[in-house]
Amino acid sequence: MKMPLELRVNGEEVTDFIEPRTSLADFLRDRLRLTGTHLGCEMGVCGACLVLLDGKPVHGCLVLAMQAAGSEVETIESLSESGAIADLQAAFHERNALQCGYCTSGMLMTAHTLLSETPQPDREAIRVALSGNYCRCTGYEAIVDAIATTAARRAGEVAT
């Protein structure tokens, strides 16, 4: 039995009828075709499905779409298209912080949230923030470098 769902996704009003057990990640990917939200573990461990729900990071695989009713959801597509993370994307490229790319959208969402809350995090704070994201390819050092580079540039410092 499908139920009505109304929410805002990336600034747009969305109305749909869905199965109550549909996860937010599945809804975004399957119904709205926002495929930047990846499904990795589907247990909230890997961070590939990270989205912002009313401004707070959540694992989309652990949140039912119905729990997001009346809320605002932001995906990597919104942040990328608005230019909000253009400097992060550039730093990830420069620092070779992406390899297969599967975890990258979750990493960027995490980095964006961290830098919004803590504009000048030290490397340890960056590592702690990334602890909810799993990457099998990079070893994380390049990702930490990219986030530190972005923080330094935003502060007007010369990144090394």
According to the CATH classification, is domain 3-79 in 2.60.120.10?
no
Regarding pTM above 0.85, the answer is yes
Q: 41-92: per-residue pLDDT in tens?
A: 889 889 999 999 999 999 999 999 999 999 999 999 999 999 999 999 999 9
> Which part of the chain has CATH 1.10.150.120?
83-154
* 64 vs 137, higher pLDDT: 64
pLDDT for the residue numbered 100:
86
How far apart (Å, rounded) are the C-alpha atoms in residues 15 and 13? 7
pLDDT for the residue numbered 160:
66
Fold classification of 83-154 is DNA polymerase; domain 1 (1.10.150)
pLDDT for the residue numbered 139:
79
Cite the DSSP H helix spans in the chain: 24-26, 76-82, 86-94, 104-117, 123-129, 141-154
Contact, 25 vs 65, CB < 8 A? no
> Which part of the chain has CATH 3.10.20.30?
3-79
Average pLDDT of 92-98?
A: 92
